[in-house]
Chains A and B, each alone.
Chain A
Amino acid sequence: MSKHPISVTINGTAYEDTVDSRTLLVHWIRDGLHLTGTHIGCDTTSCGACTILVDGKATKSCTMFAVQANGRQIVTVEGLEQGDRLHPMQEGFHEKHALQCGYCTPGMMMAAIALLQRNPHPSEQEIREGISGNLCRCTGYVNIVRAIQYAAEKMSASEPVPVPAGEGDD
């Protein structure tokens, strides 16, 4: 198979690498860059545990090749905390007990951040729809909804939170 040089910015850091054409983005991020917060929960693009932001859009990184990330801006869970300041979404998940085993958590938070970027004041139904690409086996989603509501309130009440810019996904 062919190899390709790529240049990708992840959490503000530029990475140069040469990847096989078939290498999935999630494997490159996890195995190659040791950013292991992004998880793999299925083999059919169903669970969303691998969700990251690619140019601001929530993207299941198991369903994208690393070469397709060439030239793009990516944010993973490791990029949410700014200095020692948690992102409101991280804070909300902690405050509202929106995680248990923690395995869906990174992808869930990334999907929720993308949701709030395109809809800063979602209803409960819109939140549930907005995270319907992300499976959680532990929480029953109730507290995840509460955490996202917490983050939405916090983000609209305070100064703009340094979340990477993007178009928001649609």
Chain B
Amino acid sequence: MYYKYIIVAILLLLLGVLGIVLNRGHLIIMLMSIELILLAASFLFLINSVVIDLLIEQIFTIMILTVAAAESAIGLAILVAYYRIKGTIAVKSLNWLRG
């Protein structure tokens, strides 16, 4: 009976993944997609927590939220630093390093 929640969570996760892969635009969208993935993951944790009646996954979720906040803060900081140097934050301009 929780399948529909799981499906929603997986759809959210895939949406985030596709957002990263198909995104040709800005870095911000990429960061937002990453946030979406993390949220979807947290959502899955919570569903599982309810299903198997275990608290540890809710603790994980809280820690993930912390990590996600820290991560987006650092990510935005890098983004701002990058924007100062380059004057643009287009993903396509991030192609200096290649094999």
Asked if A pairs with B, the answer is no
